[in-house]
């Protein structure tokens, strides 16, 4: 079946609508970062850079790290952007743009997010590099997709729903990291469940001037425990990446540079250093 022009939008130069990339511009290993300025912080470590493209907040550099072709791409903030990035990355490798049809042979991308995040556990201090074993979405993205069959954990999600039962406005979704990426790039790192929030302030329990509808949000989040699992940190993209990667058959891992300690009410005085550590760790382990 042909995919409609309104559903898969291809620019006059043959590039995909938002990412502004041509099929072939994307490597099979894709690093995503939220901040567009972080793209060159990553690609400055590449041995060669073959292309730099961008549109809006979606900046892409593709090049080589040793013999491995790697793309680094900024997503901007939030799972609404993740919807665009994951669908357009998938289309670039799995749709024939001329025929507007799904290819016979599908490509599974390795997608590694390098993001910043806030810890909700006292033993995970600022400066920690943490791998997300699970992404727990508190946003609405996955209300619009059929859930993935792989890498979900229905029993753990049920326990989480019971824990958050007083907070009826959300329909949380839970997806696991790719096991192989977790055991290689995430090797020996602290792990946990990463909560993906639909905002930075009240949706992550911050109080500035507007009053919070969920006043003890950090306590609620940090007190969840089930066997070896607990919620470790808060950010704004991981759960969407894990869920859509699983829906579309890609492999994903999120690496978090912990900049805030929400239990100690502190924010890092050297955020760039922490992010640089996370970038180097990921590139060494690709
Ligand atoms: O540093 P990045 O990757 O943008 O990630 C975190 O930082 C942003 C909020 O400041 C959100 O995108 C959050 O997920
Ligand atoms: O606390 C934090 C820090 C970085 N990014 C977030 O989304 N939250």
The C-alpha atoms of residue 231 and residue 282 are separated, in whole angstroms, by 22
Fold of the 29-285 domain: Rossmann fold (3.40.50)
pLDDT score of 32 more than 90: yes
ipTM rounded to 2 decimals: 0.99
Closest CA to 127 of 14, 11, 268: 268
The C-alpha atoms of residue 270 and residue 214 are separated, in whole angstroms, by 30
> What separation in Å is there between the alpha carbon of 176 and the centre of ligand 2?
20
Three-class SS of the chain: CCCCCCCCCECCCCCECCCCCCCCCCCCEEEEECCCCHHHHHHCCCCEEEEEEEECCEEEEEEEECCEEEEEEECCCCHHHHHHHHHHHHHHHHEECCCCEECCCCCCCEEEEEEEEEECCCCCCCCCEEEEEEEEECCCHHHHCCCCCCCCCHHHHHHHHHHCCCCCCCCCEEEECCHHHHHHCCCCCCEEEEEECCCCCHHHCCCCCCCCCCCCHHHHHHCCEECCEEEEEEECCHHHHHHHHHHHCCEEEEEEEEEEECCCCEECCCHHHHHHHHHHHHHHHC
253-277 average pLDDT score: 98
> What separation in Å is there between the alpha carbon of 234 and the centre of ligand 2?
6
For the record, the structure tokens of 90 come out as: 């998938």
Burial label, 64 (beta-carbon count in 10 A; 0-12, 13-18, 19+):
middle
Q: Which atom of ligand 2 is nearest to the CA of 197?
A: 7
> What separation in Å is there between the alpha carbon of 260 and the centre of ligand 1?
12
Query: Which residues does 173 contact at the CB level (< 8 Å), separation at least 6?
Result: 136, 137, 142, 147, 157, 239, 243
Q: Strand 191-196 relative to strand 229-235: parallel, antiparallel, unpaired?
A: parallel
Give the model's pLDDT for residue 168: 75
Instruction: Say whether pTM exceeds 0.95.
Output: yes
Give the model's pLDDT for residue 231: 98
Contact 134, 242 (CB under 8 A): yes
Residue 77 CB less than 6 A away from ligand 1: yes
Q: How does pLDDT run across 199-241, given as a tens digit for each residue?
A: 999 999 999 999 999 989 999 999 999 988 999 999 999 999 9
The C-alpha atoms of residue 206 and residue 268 are separated, in whole angstroms, by 16
pLDDT score of 21 more than 90: yes
Q: How does pLDDT run across 109-160, given as a tens digit for each residue?
A: 999 999 999 999 999 999 999 999 999 999 999 999 998 877 778 999 999 9
C-alpha distances out from residue 48 to 52, 64, 276, Å: 12, 5, 19
Domain boundaries, the chain: 29-285
Of 85, 116, 253, the one to substitute when testing ligand 1's pocket (max ligand atoms within 8 A of C-beta) is 116
Q: How does pLDDT run across 81-90, given as a tens digit for each residue?
A: 999 999 999 9
Contact 88, 16 (CB under 8 A): yes
Ligand nearest to the CA of 35: 1
> What separation in Å is there between the alpha carbon of 49 and the centre of ligand 2?
30
94-108 average pLDDT score: 98
Average pLDDT, the chain: 97
Confidence of residue 243 (pLDDT cuts 50, 70, 90): very high
Ligand nearest to the CA of 80: 1
The C-alpha atoms of residue 4 and residue 245 are separated, in whole angstroms, by 23
Burial label, 212 (beta-carbon count in 10 A; 0-12, 13-18, 19+):
middle
pLDDT score of 99 more than 90: yes
Q: Which residue in this structure is represented by tokens 């607990």?
A: 230
The C-alpha atoms of residue 226 and residue 60 are separated, in whole angstroms, by 39
Give the model's pLDDT for residue 144: 96
Give the model's pLDDT for residue 150: 75
Closest protein CA for atom 4 of ligand 2: 117
Residue 74 CB less than 6 A away from ligand 1: no
pLDDT score of 163 more than 80: yes
């Amino acid at each position: 079946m042909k995919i409609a022009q309104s559903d898969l939008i291809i620019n006059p130069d043959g590039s995909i609508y938002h990412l502004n990339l041509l099929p072939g511009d994307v490597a099979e290993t894709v690093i995503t970062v939220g901040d567009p300025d972080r793209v060159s912080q990553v690609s400055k470590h590449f041995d060669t850079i073959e292309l730099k493209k961008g549109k809006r907040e979606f900046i892409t550099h593709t090049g080589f790290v040793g013999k491995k072709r790697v793309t680094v791409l900024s997503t901007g903030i939030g799972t609404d952007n993740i919807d665009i990035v994951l669908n357009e990355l998938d289309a670039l490798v799995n749709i024939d743009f001329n025929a507007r049809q799904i290819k016979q042979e599908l490509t599974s991308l390795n997608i590694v997010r390098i993001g910043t995040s806030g810890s909700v556990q006292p033993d995970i201090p600022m400066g920690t590099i943490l791998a997300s074993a699970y992404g727990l979405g508190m946003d609405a993205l996955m209300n619009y997709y059929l859930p993935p069959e792989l890498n979900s954990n229905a029993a753990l999600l049920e326990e989480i729903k019971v824990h958050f039962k007083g907070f009826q406005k959300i329909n949380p979704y839970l997806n696991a990291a790719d096991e192989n990426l977790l055991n290689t790039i995430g090797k020996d790192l602290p792990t946990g469940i990463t909560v993906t929030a639909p905002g930075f302030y009240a949706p992550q329990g911050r109080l500035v001037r507007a009053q919070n509808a969920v006043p003890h949000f950090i306590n609620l989040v940090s007190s969840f425990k089930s066997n070896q699992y607990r919620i470790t940190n808060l950010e704004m993209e991981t759960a969407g990446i894990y869920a859509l990667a699983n829906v579309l058959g890609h492999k994903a891992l999120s690496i978090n540079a912990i900049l805030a300690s929400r239990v100690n009410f502190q924010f890092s005085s050297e955020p760039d250093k922490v992010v640089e550590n996370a970038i180097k760790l990921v590139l060494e382990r690709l």
